[in-house]
Amino acid sequence: MKAVDEVVDICRALIQIDTSNTGDSATSAGERAAAEYVAGLLDEVGLAPQIVESEPGRTSVLARFEGADPSRDALLIHGHLDVVPADPDEWSVHPFAGEIRDGYLFGRGAVDMKDFDAMVLALVRQWRREGRVPPRDLVLAFLADEEAGGSLGAHYVVDRHADLLEGCTEGIGEVGGFSLTLDQERRLYLIETAEKGLNWLRLTARGRPGHGSMMHDDNAVTRLAEAVARLGHHQFPIQLTSTVRAFLEEVCDLLGIEFDPEQPEAAVAKLGPIARVIGATLRNTVNPTMLRAGYKSNVIPGLAEAVVDGRALPGQEEVFLEQIRQIVGPGIALEYEQHQPALETSFDGPLVAAMIDALREVDPGAHPVPYMLSGGTDAKAFSRLGIRCFGFAPLRLPADLDFTALFHGIDERVPISGLQFGVEVLDRFLSRC
């Protein structure tokens, strides 16, 4: 079977394996079944998979596809097997049914990121059946726990099994290589060269417990609520990084509009749905996500806690934390729940050239550009080994599809034609990388 045909079957089978990551290992064990399925596909074509398990059920699988020139550095190709939870009552189809409808494959993980896992698996299986060999070693990694920061997946592999990544100096994974239509003839393809830092913070306020009916001037809930509200309403100053500037300059040139570096938001506003992602890369951001306090209606608690999702730009980590301290004010303790650094690399070199050439061969209207992801990926773990990482999971998308809304969204889906396009691009890319 050709990879362009098998990719649909593999992606569908992966979606049907519920790998929901709740953030709690007691309820997040589906990755083992997915890893065993992947390992079986690799073993079937002689690729000797290595299964790595950080905790029971929290399973990753890696394999090395030896290349023609063993003296060259290896390329890491990484994807994650876990997905965020989905409520079937909110979907028009069951999120784990893998239903095909109107040219799309629906399901949790369809774009984040079982589509890329399937593309890679289908392609390497075809190459093995045909006896094709990549120019250099490819290290294939299908990982657990990315949706909770990767401590039990990519970071565990880096900490305990770095030997499986021996020789890797470059890597590709999510979220990049997808198209944004400019007009009938031209499409941007956003290749991720940077991503914001992961700065999940717990805010804790303490006060004097007491009876809810009495006057009380030392209320932990009040102090915390005021601090969280200040953070939630605060807009951090614009900091134009080299990646974001390069993206906006290229896009403005293609659109024939003026780029004013003093007012970059004017250009971002013209980008349609992708503006949500690009807009978030103009500045540091914080969003309150969790609150917890109290145990009875008429008891003022002595402790109140909140969690905020902070995302720092490259080079802004220390400044960002100090900004948050100033905003929340005194009486609020800050503690990192998850802290991983921002990443940024340049849009140049032979690997980037191979991406550009492959995209343009399959889509002559392609205009590849670098961009910064507002979220984070397992690249943060692999960067600790000095691996230069890119987001390159190619998809040609319909012009009217709000792609970014599908990540962790309702009715997540990927176009069948997009899966097949991705296989064709990766085939050309990996042939020359």
Report pLDDT for 87. 96
Report pLDDT for 403. 87
Report pLDDT for 242. 94
Domains parsed from the chain with CATH numbers: 3-180+345-361+369-432 (3.40.630.10), 195-340 (3.30.70.360)
> In Å, what is the CA distance from 32 to each residue of 38, 225, 381, 411?
10, 40, 21, 25
Report pLDDT for 274. 82
Report pLDDT for 277. 85
For the chain, list residues with pLDDT below 70: none
Q: How far apart are CA 332 and CA 226, in angstroms?
A: 10
Report pLDDT for 119. 98
Asked, as a colleague might, if the bond just before 175 is cis with ω within 30 of 0, I would say yes
Residues 296-327: tens digit of each pLDDT:
999 999 999 999 999 999 999 899 999 999 99
Strands 178-181 and 285-293, sheet pairing: unpaired
Residues 239-281: tens digit of each pLDDT:
999 999 999 999 999 988 888 888 999 888 888 878 888 999 9
- Over its C-alpha atoms, the chain yields an Rg (Å, rounded) of 23
- Contact 316/330 with Cβ under 8 angstroms? no
- SS3 letters across 5-47: HHHHHHHHHHHCCCCECCCCHHHCCCHHHHHHHHHHHHHHCCC
Q: Say if pTM beats, i.e. exceeds, 0.75.
A: yes
Residue count of the chain: 433
Tell me the Ramachandran region of residue 83: left when phi exceeds 0, alpha when psi lies from -120 to 50, beta otherwise.
beta
Q: How far apart are CA 248 and CA 55, in angstroms?
A: 43
Smallest CA-to-CA distance from 189 within 390, 375, 3 is with 390
User: Would you state the structure tokens that stand for residue 139, as one six-digit string?
Assistant: 């290290």
